[in-house]
Every structure is written in structure tokens, then in C-alpha cells.
Structure 1
């Protein structure tokens, strides 16, 4: 056990559920998850997976200085690392749901999630305090309504935010998914309006839909995430065309077209899209 605000959690797969063509939910278990202090909303954590043929994920033991030690390990042996969002956490018994956006066998996490079975090993690096740096959705006190937007990689985070929003919160939500069958009910106590677009199939793009939408009055707060280039472009729409104060927009690149997460880690740009 560590005194750090984050720690490693040794877990195993309890069950999986295919939610739609592009999503599978993996439920992790382990008594150690009692110490996982998720802050709700878009709570981010690191997931470490074993390579094919390995029974366990191999990684350093020190949660404070893990990254330099992990980088020094043999890439063929060290655990595969990816960033994900907590979809839901439950206690007694300890369970944590993660929803994986699938893209075939083109990435190790997608391959692992597609084939995950009960008992499979994984390690989480997550928070031990609820107010932690892995939560980005933080609307200012004077916020009158919120705008949420993202592609399929951001759908679990948006679902978590909607689940967290206080009753009566005004929310406008745009989600872009690969397949029409990926659309689903997202529970919330907020007064939400959700607009789904399907990449390459919808009559209007998500960006154009937001550009042309009739938005509520008052002070907005926007949270947008997904492919880095698209996130930057949408931020320009909100600030330059829709009149949002740039300080009222939280924007995060979950991935970059044509770039693997390993390459982003090497560049030191994971979960960041940069200022224009």
C-alpha cells in the first residue's frame, strides 16, 4: 500500500459484455479496488495489460516513479499501457467497469478487450483520493449549462459525466460513433438533449450540427474530447463562431489520427492537444 495520491491496483476480469458493434464492457474485480477513489465524471486512469502469452502484466512496483522504470523495460516484456475512463465503480463486491471502443486487431488494447475472459489479469494505476488530476470535467460555479461533445473514444467519459450531473442541469450533447447500432440510452438526471451522428453516414457532420445549433442562453461550459485534430477544430468553432470564452472550454485529445499511443507517449503529448 502506498501513501501516494495514486497507486497500482492488481485486478482480474470478472465478466465482459458486448454492448454494440463498437463497444465491449469489461468488469474488473479485486479487493484492492476498495481503495480506488474515483472522482466520477471523466475519471481517467492507466491500464496495464499483459502481452499475448503472458499470464500477468509486467511493470514496476513504485507508483511514484513508475514511468521512467517502465520506459527502461524491454518493450516486448513490459506491460502494454493505455489510458481509459472509469464508466462505473461499485462496492461490496468491488467492481469497476471499463468500456472499450473497439477497432479490430489494429491495437493491443482492442485485441485484448475483444478476447478478454474471466480471470484475465490487468493492473490499473488510479487515484486513492477522489479529487485528483485524472478528472478534467470541472465547470465553474457560474455555469448555466454544459455542452459535451466527443467521438466513440469519449463516449464512456460523456456517459460518466451525464451520470454525475446534478438533477435539472441543462446539457447539450453531441456524440459521433462508427455504427448506427452504437447509439444507446445514457442515464442522467440532467435535462439533456443528445444528438448522435454516424461517421460517414449522417447527413450532417457533428461539427456542422454544433455550428448550426440553437443553444441555450447564459454562461456555458464545454467539455470536448476525441481525435486531437477534430477536437482542435471544434474548439475553434466554439470560441470563434459560437462566442465561447476559451476559458470555458476543456478540450482533450484522446488519440491522434495516424499516431499510436506509444508514439504519443514518446512525444510526451498523451491526453493533450495543445493551444492554437
Structure 2
């Protein structure tokens, strides 16, 4: 059995770092000895209207994850917290605080057609003392970048991928090389990124780019980019449809092997994490499982025949 990594966390600081992104620090149980790694994912539980804190089931003594999650789903829908995936931007081991960045979808006219979800509504008005719950992270899901398999690293994503990209480039070793292509609404959404590596950042503005050739701004930017020489490992994240198009371009047009690409659809246009998966979502999940199995087979020692 695995202990259920669930606990309440309380806002200790709020700072708007761009017009459409706010940075919050949290304190809470279990943060005294908090394992950390780049691109560290966890799930946040947001309270329903009228709740001062999200309603959670009790953690059983045996720490059974599946039993806890079944009890979570058994909470009546009108009382059950909304659960959304986020990235830990940083951890302060001295003050025992985690930092999480929230994209405020719909905060500008360029995103006005997007529905404002419960996470954005909460983050838009959150103040010190407000309470969420965290589910995770679990070290079993830590996946280091295979830097020894490539000469340079490509990172591509939209603003939802920025916290992960920020933590990844900060962890790169000196002497390594990385190129980041990041799509944001406009120049006001750009953030400073620091890295010990030789890092080149290309900011892509949706306001300045048309959907020429059937693709979005980020896809067009990657298509037109001149890649450094040598082999590449690509890390892709953001809107699921855009990620699929990026991966298809890298495999079919750039000739990059599928095992040299890590990809994740963080969100779906016009759909939320509460909606049922589409056929494309299921196909993506199957591809990710197949890729993981292939990688595991490649790394396992071969038995003599």
C-alpha cells in the first residue's frame, strides 16, 4: 500500500507576477520534509461555494490510495471539491513552503472566449489564510530528463507549462544546451528564466501570430525554428490538441524518434478535467503507456537466450 499524500494547505503569500499569472506560497502539514524534483506535479482540491475549506474523506489507517479516491468520488457532486493538476514551481526547505503559479484564464480580451473555471475563479480572489487541499506529489511519478540521450533539449509549451519549464531549466547542469519555445498572450506575459545551462528562449505571442498553415502560434514557431545541430530530446506540454500537433510535427517532419519526446496535454480547449476523455485523449493516453513500456524494455537488462 502507498500512503495517501493528502493534506490541507493554507495561502501565506499572493503576488501577481504578470497580468494573467499569480504566484502563491502555501504552508501546511507534510511540508517539513517535502521531496522535490523538477516538473513536480500534484493535484489541488478547490472548495465549493460556501465552503471555507474543501471537504475531504478521512485517510484510512492502511493508507490505501484507491480506497481514499473512491471515498472522494462518493462525496455528493455539489459538495465534492474540484480537483485540478498543477506544478510545484519551487520549495523553500527553511520555511517549509511550496510555491505554485496559477494562470488566470479569461483575464484578458485575448482569452475572453474561454470559460472561467473554478481554479481561476478561486485564484483570482484568493488571499492569505485561504485554504486548499493537495493530493500528492508522489515520488513514483518523478521522471528525470534523459539528458545523456541527446546533445540538446527542446522545451515547448504555453503559459500553463511555464512553471514546469522554469523548474526544468533551473535544474539543468552547466554546459548543457536547451531551447525553449513558449506561447503566451503578449509581451506582458513574458517571465525571466534563469538556468546554469546555455539556454535560448523564444517567446511566441498569440496576438502577433495568425493560425497560418492550419496550426497555432506555437506550432508555427517550432516549424520555423532553426534547430541546433546534434540529437535532441523534446519536452512538450500545454493544450492537448496543440501538444499532439507539435509531437506529430517533430516525428513526421523533423524525424525525431518517439522515444526522444516526452509530451503531456495539461488542458483541453472547451473541456475541463471533469469532462469525459475524448477519443483523442484516450489515444494519447495509450500512446504514453506504450512509450513508457517501450522505454522500460529498452532500459531493462537483456537475458541471454
Would you say same fold, with TM above 0.5? yes
Matching residue within 95, 98, 103 for 2:97: 95
Which residue is 2:226 aligned to? 214
Is the deviation greater in 186-195 or in 139-148?
139-148
Give 1:31 deviation, angstroms: 4.7
Contact 1:232 1:273 in 2 (8 A): no
Unmatched segments (≥5 aa) in structure 1 = none
User: Do structure 1's residue 110 and structure 2's residue 120 form an aligned pair?
Assistant: yes
User: Do structure 1's residue 61 and structure 2's residue 79 form an aligned pair?
Assistant: no
For residues 12 and 73 of structure 1, the distance between their equivalents in structure 2, rounded to whole angstroms, comes to: 22
Matching residue within 275, 281, 286 for 1:263: 275
TM superposition outliers: structure 1 runs of 4+ over 6 Å: none
Give CA deviations for 1:45-69 in whole Å, capped at 9, x if unaligned.
0101212221111122336122222
Matching residue within 48, 52, 72 for 1:51: 48
For residues 231 and 278 of structure 2, the distance between their equivalents in structure 1, rounded to whole angstroms, comes to: 38
Give 1:112 deviation, angstroms: 0.6
Give 1:138 deviation, angstroms: 2.5
Distance 1:160 1:212, change over 3 A: same
Give TM-score, length-normalised by structure 2. 0.81
Give 1:76 deviation, angstroms: 1.2
User: Do structure 1's residue 26 and structure 2's residue 28 form an aligned pair?
Assistant: no
Contact 1:136 1:250 in 2 (8 A): no
Q: Which has the higher helix share?
A: 2
Give 1:26 deviation, angstroms: 1.0
Give 1:212 deviation, angstroms: 2.2
Give CA deviations for 1:66-105 in whole Å, capped at 9, x if unaligned.
2222122111111111000000001221110000011147
Give 1:136 deviation, angstroms: 4.3
For residues 242 and 278 of structure 2, the distance between their equivalents in structure 1, rounded to whole angstroms, comes to: 22
Computing the radius of gyration from Cα coordinates, the structure with the larger value is: 2
Give TM-score, length-normalised by structure 1. 0.89
Q: CA RMSD in A?
A: 2.4
Which residue is 2:132 aligned to? 122
Unmatched segments (≥5 aa) in structure 2 = 107-114, 289-305
User: Do structure 1's residue 237 and structure 2's residue 249 form an aligned pair?
Assistant: yes
Distance 1:5 1:146, change over 3 A: farther
User: Do structure 1's residue 84 and structure 2's residue 86 form an aligned pair?
Assistant: yes
Could you say what secondary structure the match of 1:32 adopts?
A: coil
Which residue is 1:71 aligned to? 73
Give 1:264 deviation, angstroms: 4.4
Which residue is 2:184 aligned to? 177
Distance 1:239 1:128, change over 3 A: closer
- RCO higher in 1 or 2 (8 Å CA, sep ≥ 6)? 1
Distance 1:265 1:50, change over 3 A: farther
Give CA deviations for 1:13-36 in whole Å, capped at 9, x if unaligned.
001000111100011012521233
